Structure 1
Amino acid sequence: MRAHAGDWLILEQAVLGREVRRGLIEEVHSPDGAPPYWVRWLDTGHEALVFPGPDAHVQTAAEFAAGTQASQRVAEVQEEVAAPRRRT
């Protein structure tokens, strides 16, 4: 796993019912981008030094933004489909 400051750490938790955690990597302590990373978690704002496990992966800022935009568009389409149609 390799990262740069500004990338996102994504934890795909294997426990049923647990949300995916996303954190902004603010500092990388290794010159080659290896862990540990100083991360600010999106859901809580908490900052911590993280040694990611096998359920984690890194996304660049561009990949994260694209995924966020896609999720927003899916929500918009679902809302449109669920809305009652007006007959004219």
Structure 2
Amino acid sequence: MHANRGDRLVVHGRTVGHHDRVVEIIEVIGTNGDPPYRVRGEDGHEAIMSPGPDSVVRHGKATGEPSGR
């Protein structure tokens, strides 16, 4: 998984009733675009994430929810 600052990270909900979460990557801590990433959610909360297999990087500064999986 490779990402750049400004990309979106989509974490798919894994159980019924849990929706996908979309966060913005504000810092790439790993080397050459690799995790971990400092991310910011829509509510302003920041965290450091090492995404798992249920996550997808959406490149670019697109706004809104990504379509499809």
What TM-score does the superposition give when structure 1 sets the normalisation length?
Answer: 0.67
Task: Map 1:1-88; keep pairs closer than 5 Å.
Answer: 1-42=1-42, 44-62=43-61, 64-65=62-63, 68=64
Look up the SS of the partner of 1:32 in the other structure.
helix
Number of equivalent positions: 67
Percent identical residues? 39
* Structure ranking higher on relative contact order (CA contacts 8 Å, 6+ apart): 2
Structure (1/2) with the larger strand percentage: 2
Structure 1: gaps spanning 5 or more residues? 72-88
Runs of 4+ in structure 1 off by over 6 angstroms are none
1:61 positional shift: 2.3
Which structure has the larger Rg over C-alpha atoms?
1
What TM-score does the superposition give when structure 2 sets the normalisation length?
Answer: 0.83
Structure (1/2) with the larger helix percentage: 1
Structure 2: gaps spanning 5 or more residues? none
1:31 positional shift: 2.9
Are residues 47 and 70 of structure 1, via their aligned partners in 2, closer, same or farther at CA, if it must alter by over 3 Å?
closer
